[in-house]
Chains A and B, each alone.
Chain A
């Protein structure tokens, strides 16, 4: 059985239906990526799983328990932590306070976990007494990931960790995501607009469009898919194909 599975999840903003029956599976130890253009519903999906939004319909199962509609603190306690889009750190708390508060749902072992986070992000140790609002974008992203780790998650949800970062920093962040997966055994569900790096890091992926899953498969299969190459990997094409591209319909429609 999957560590996390969703069946026919529907989530609304008022009358606007943002998720239109999403189903997906995340197995233990995997890195799973969700690709999709702006407004596809990726963030809504993450918020629904993390308990920040209530699904109107459908089933969310994490480690054998139904967590659809549960309060966020219940979900965190079960071992699921979200690294949200736009980092969402606590600007006037120090770096170390930000990390400590990541362990809010637990007692004990905080010192060891801080050392673990600092071993992956040495720059955070250097700046641990500074207010988090003064960190650079990349450092804030590291802090957000570190804060998520402090909850000792079994599954980590990462919403666009590369947003606003330079290619070099993006690579560094994804390298650490891979290492956390391999060395700490943290399963990852990763939302990305940068399909290229996401498909190199992940084991499998889903493509979300207009609140629906329109494609799913192993990362390798997605990398080789024509549609993905055209619409998400921005394949460089000769002019003739480039013009044809606009006429072609995506095959999944």
Chain B
């Protein structure tokens, strides 16, 4: 029984890591660099949802508040690419790393000065409700987290597989010059991808907030999500999700059954193990590119 409960909880927190990891992968594919502010975008998304939803703030209905927060974060992500990231277009990869680390500090500062540094609770219709199946107790927020993550991943997959814009984004990440040649407005596609990853981060933030409190430092979870993205191979959306779930599941089990701090270290131990044994990531496609 305990095992099952740990498993469901682990999958749910893994889904949140996975959603943030999806953001890493989206931007990695578009801008060929890592956005270390991804966790902070999740944090800001959660706070913006709180600003729309909580009764002592704007008090909008929860669903509407989440949609508005996603839209706001889309605009913020789009704007960050358009105004800041584009300036370093063509610079070496570490330029983007430094830039986004700085950006993370800025986002934390912005959230801190608007909502303060004391932990706040996002009022969700999910909080504190539990479901009981055959003797095990599962929180409603865990179930919703898992379902929402699967739905969002499916939507993203459909977007990249079938939409004109999704195909254009995929093409741009494979051969940027060719993308220009066929008339894809590559820079605008990059902005859109940053917007998209802002919206995805918001969903992750809201799901995170439905399990506890939020404060401007919750973005540090991004480091675990980064490990998840690396485990998944950095270039693959399903890989990122699976990497997140793997970490999410291993963590509580390691904490429960293994001595000391191994539980806390487990995401990074897995990451190092994957990097040394399968550098392309656990889910990298086994195929060679013919030249």
Interfacial residues, chain A to chain B (CB-CB below 8 A): 50-52, 71-73, 75-77, 81-82, 84, 88-93, 97, 100-102, 104-105, 133-135, 147, 151
Structural contact, B168 and A84, CB atoms closer than 8 A:
no
**Would you give 17 A-B contacts (Cβ < 8 Å), ordered by A?**
A52-B177, A73-B180, A73-B183, A75-B183, A81-B181, A84-B181, A88-B181, A92-B170, A97-B167, A97-B171, A101-B168, A101-B182, A101-B184, A102-B182, A104-B182, A105-B182, A133-B290
Q: Known contacts being A104-B164, A104-B168, is A92 close to B182, with CB within 8 Å?
A: no
- CA–CA, A101 to B182, complex, Å? 7
Point out which of A50, A52, A71, A92 has the most chain B C-beta atoms below 10 A from its C-beta.
Answer: A92
Closest to B165 in A: A104
B173 shortest CB reach to chain A, Å: 9
- B132 on the A face (CB < 8 A): no
Q: Known contacts being A91-B289, A97-B167, A134-B290, is A104 close to B175, with CB within 8 Å?
A: no
- CA–CA, A93 to B183, complex, Å? 17
- Chain A residues, Cβ within 8 Å of B184: 73, 101, 104
Interfacial residues, chain B to chain A (CB-CB below 8 A): 164, 167-168, 170-171, 174-175, 177-178, 180-185, 289-290
- Chain A residues, Cβ within 8 Å of B290: 91, 133-135
Q: Which of A71, A89, A134 contacts B185 (CB 8 A)?
A: A71
Point out which of A52, A73, A84 has the most chain B C-beta atoms below 10 A from its C-beta.
Answer: A73
- CA–CA, A102 to B290, complex, Å? 22
Instruction: Report the tally of A-B residue pairs with Cβ distances under 8 A.
Output: 69
Structural contact, A88 and B183, CB atoms closer than 8 A:
no
Structural contact, B185 and A73, CB atoms closer than 8 A:
yes
Closest to A88 in B: B178
- Chain B residues, Cβ within 8 Å of A90: 170-171, 174-175, 178
Closest to B288 in A: A133
Closest to A91 in B: B289
Q: A52-B180, A134-B290 are in contact. List 8 more A-B contacts (CB 8 A).
A: A51-B180, A73-B180, A73-B183, A76-B183, A88-B177, A88-B178, A91-B289, A101-B167
- Chain A residues, Cβ within 8 Å of B174: 90-93
Closest to A92 in B: B174
Closest to A73 in B: B183
Closest to B175 in A: A90
Structural contact, A93 and B164, CB atoms closer than 8 A:
no
- Chain A residues, Cβ within 8 Å of B180: 51-52, 72-73
Structural contact, A82 and B181, CB atoms closer than 8 A:
yes
- Chain B residues, Cβ within 8 Å of A91: 174-175, 289-290
